[in-house]
Structure 1
Amino acid sequence: MLGRLSLTEQLDAFHAALDRNEILTGVMARTATLDLPGWYVTAGCLFQTVWNVVTGRPPAQGIRDYDVFYFDDTDLSWEAEDAVIRAGQEVFGGLGAEVEIRNEARVHLWYEGKFGVPCPPYDSTESAIDRFAATTCCLGVRLERDGGWRVYAPHGLSDVFNLVVRPNPVLAPKEVYEAKATRWKEIWPELTVLPWPTGSST
Structure 2
Amino acid sequence: MTAEADPAALARLPLDAQLTSLREILARNETLAEVVRRAAGLGLPGWYVTAGCVFQTVWNAVTGRPPTYGIRDYDLFYHDASDLSWAAEDAVIRTGREVFAGLPAEVEIRNEARVHLWYEAKFGVPCAPYPSSEAAIDSFAATTCCLGVRAEEDGGPWRVYAPHGLGDVFGLVLRPNPVLAPREVYETKAARWREAWPELRVLAWPGAAA
TM-score over 0.5 for the pair: yes
Paired residues, number? 199
User: Which consecutive aligned stretches of 4+ in structure 1 deviate over 3 angstroms post-superposition?
Assistant: none
Deviations 1:139-191 (A, max 9, x none): 11000101121100000000000000000000000000000000000000000
1:175 aligns with 2:184: yes
2:163 maps to 154
- Within 5 Å, which residues of 2 pair with 1:107-186? 107-148=115-156, 149-186=158-195
Match of 2:5 in 1: none
TM-superposed deviation, 1:62: 0.3
Instruction: Calculate the TM-score normalised by the size of structure 1.
Output: 0.98
Matched residue, 2:3: none
* Helix, strand or coil at the partner of 1:35: coil
Which residue in the other structure is 1:9 paired with?
17
- Letter of the aligned partner of 1:5 in structure 2? L
1:30 aligned residue: 38
In the other structure, the counterpart of 2:51 is: 43
Q: Which of 182, 193, 202 is the aligned partner of 2:202? A: 193
CA distance in 1, matches of 2:194, 2:154: 38
1:102 aligned to which of 92, 95, 110:
110
| C-alpha distance in 2 between matches for 1:33 and 1:17 | 23
- How many angstroms apart in 2 are the aligned matches of 1:97 and 1:44? 13
**In structure 1, what residue type is equivalent to 2:54?**
L
1:96: how far off? Answer: 1.2
- Which residue identity is paired with 1:54? V
Identical aligned residues as a percent? 73
Of 47, 56, 70, the residue aligned with 1:62 is: 70
Q: Deviations over 1:41-99 (max 9, x none)?
A: 00100000000000000000000000000000000000000000000000000011000
Question: What are the Cα deviations for residues 5-38 of structure 1, in whole angstroms up to 9, with x where unaligned?
Answer: 0001000000011000000000000000100000
Query: SS in structure 2 opposite 1:5?
Result: coil
Structure 1: tracts of 5 or more residues without a match: none
User: Which sections of structure 2, spanning at least 5 residues, go unmatched?
Assistant: 1-8
Paired with 1:150 and 1:12, the residues of 2 have a C-alpha distance of 11
**1:34 counterpart SS class:** coil
